[in-house]
């Protein structure tokens, strides 16, 4: 997210220098131009730096009251651009732990299967489902047992839920969406989301959204449902391309065809690409 913000900040600064001169504001600084004209004012040449002096106590106070520690503000302005502009732009926080659960539930995933109590929200006192075998686990297992990594708030430590996607959180969210993709693909009914997927009603048809067409290309309604906003033709085409370019996998005892692997990979890619905020 910081990389994105940095890009936005750089773009804003470049834009302001190039074509929007009134767009930018001076960033916080730890020196200010000397308001008093020197008694023997030197003649300044064009391009010379302005006369600066250390901050007076009243100037320090003014800067603090305007927004806090000036060095932190300067660092933030460097990353995000002027505060008057940055504060009016949408950021992209980590999806809340409870929201992840509701999102997957709305896409037909049994997110609390095996948990006790079997209702959202999953909390620190929830009894998670037992591990089944040594390999792939259920989505509910991954979601419930990964609650700390996924960022469940630690109120006992007087901390609110993190708004940042750390490396660990991002990796675990990808694990979760990859696991959920298999379950979503397996539960499709005639390539459409099942009735349990309450977030996937296609408003155009009034029926459950179709994830894949009969030829296994992606359907716009299904992609829209997974990502939560209207899918573009390019996104649908990219989804279809993933389906067609996958390879068969699995074991001899339980093989996974290339098409099935592609369908699962497409669903996982859409979820991770649109819900991870990176």
Partner 1 sequence: MTALFAPAPEKVTFWRNQLRMGGQLTNPLADLATTAANLRTVSLETAPVLLGRLTATGADMRTAFTQPTNNCPTFNQSTGAFADGNCFTGATVAGSSTATNMGNNVPEGQQAGVLTNPGFHAQYYSNFGFRRQRLIQEVFACSRLPAEIASTPQIINSAVYSAPWPLKSITSNAAPPTYPAPRRVIGGTLNSQLYVDFNVEQGCYNCHVTLNHRAPLFMAFDAVGFMNNAGLSMVHSTVTGSPFTLPQDYYPTTETTAWKYKVPASTIQEFGQAMAADPQTAKCFMIRLWNEAYSRDDVVNDLALVPDSVIAPMTQYFMNNNYNMKLAIAKIYTDANFIRF
Q: How many CB atoms lie within 10 A of CB 61?
A: 11
Residue 245 C-beta: closest distance to partner 1, Å: 32
In angstroms, give the least distance from the CB of 120 to partner 1.
8
Of residues 155-174, which lie at the interface with partner 1 (CB under 8 A)?
155-156, 158-161, 163
Q: Which of 18, 65, 130, 252 binds partner 1 (CB under 8 A)?
A: 65
CB count in 10 Å sphere of residue 243: 22
Q: Pairing state of beta strands 31-33 and 52-54?
A: antiparallel
Residue 192: what are its φ and ψ, rounded to 5°? -105, 155
| Nearest distance in Å: CB 62, partner 1 | 9
How far from 158 is each of 112, 154, 155, 162, 232, CA to CA, in Å? Answer: 27, 7, 5, 12, 42
Q: Which of 54, 68, 168, 255 is the binder for partner 1 (CB under 8 A)?
A: 68
Could you count the other beta carbons within 10 Å of the beta carbon of residue 200?
24
Stretch that binds partner 1, among 68-76, 141-149, 244-252, 262-270 (CB under 8 A): 68-76
Distance CA 211, CA 192 (A): 5
Per-residue binding string, partner 1, 128-157, x by CB under 8 A, is: -------------------------x-xx-
Interstrand relation of 255-256 and 31-33 (parallel, antiparallel or unpaired): unpaired
Per CB under 8 A, 206 contacts partner 1: no
Q: Please, which of residues 4-63 interact with partner 1 by CB under 8 A? A: 57-58, 60-61
- For partner 1, the closer of residues 156 and 167 by Cβ is 156
Interface residue with partner 1 among 52, 93, 148, 189 (CB under 8 A) is 93
Residues 6+ away with beta carbon under 8 Å from 40: none
Count CA atoms within 13 Å of residue 139 on its CB side: 27
Q: Is 122 among the residues that bind partner 1 (CB under 8 A)?
A: no
**Measured CA distances, 7 to 3, 4, 149, 158, 171 (Å):** 6, 5, 27, 33, 23
Nearest distance from C-beta of residue 148 to partner 1, angstroms: 15
- # chain residues binding partner 1, by CB under 8 A: 36
SS percent in the chain: helix, strand, coil, step 5: 45, 5, 50
Output the smallest distance, CB 134 to partner 1, in A.
34
124 binds partner 1 (CB under 8 A): yes
Peptide bond into 117 cis (omega under 30): yes
CB 118 within 8 Å of CB 144: no
Is the Cβ of residue 28 or residue 242 nearer to partner 1 in the bound state?
28
Closer to partner 1 at the Cβ: 87 or 251?
Answer: 87
Binder of partner 1 out of 9, 12, 63, 73 (CB under 8 A): 73
**Chain residues that interact with partner 1, rule: CB under 8 A:** 57-58, 60-61, 64-65, 67-69, 72-73, 76, 83-84, 87-93, 96, 98-99, 119, 121, 123-124, 153, 155-156, 158-161, 163
């Amino acid at each position: 997210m910081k990389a994105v913000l940095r890009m936005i900040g750089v773009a804003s600064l470049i834009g302001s220098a190039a074509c929007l001169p009134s767009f930018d504001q001076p960033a916080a600084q730890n020196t200010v131009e000397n308001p008093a004209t020197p008694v023997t004012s030197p003649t300044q040449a064009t391009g010379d730096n302005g006369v600066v002096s250390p901050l007076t106590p009243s100037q320090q106070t003014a800067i603090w009251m305007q927004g806090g520690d000036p060095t932190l503000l300067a660092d933030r302005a460097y990353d995000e651009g002027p505060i008057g502009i940055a504060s009016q732009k949408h950021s992209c926080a980590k999806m809340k732990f409870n929201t992840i659960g509701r999102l997957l539930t709305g896409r037909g995933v049994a997110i609390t299967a095996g948990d006790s109590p079997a209702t959202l929200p999953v909390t620190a006192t929830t009894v998670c489902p037992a591990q089944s075998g040594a390999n792939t686990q259920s989505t509910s297992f991954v979601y419930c047992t990964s609650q700390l990594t996924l960022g469940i708030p630690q109120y006992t430590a007087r901390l609110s839920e993190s708004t940042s996607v750390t490396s660990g959180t991002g990796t675990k969210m990808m694990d979760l969406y990859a696991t959920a993709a298999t379950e979503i693909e397996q539960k499709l009914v005639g390539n459409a989301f099942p009735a349990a997927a309450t977030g996937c009603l296609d408003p155009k048809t009034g029926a459950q959204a179709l994830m894949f067409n009969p030829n296994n290309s992606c359907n716009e309604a299904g992609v829209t449902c997974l990502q939560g906003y209207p899918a573009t033709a390019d996104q649908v085409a990219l989804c279809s391309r993933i389906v067609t370019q996958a390879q068969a996998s699995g074991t001899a005892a339980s093989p996974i065809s290339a098409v099935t692997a592609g369908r699962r990979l497409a669903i996982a890619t859409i979820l991770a690409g649109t819900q991870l905020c990176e």
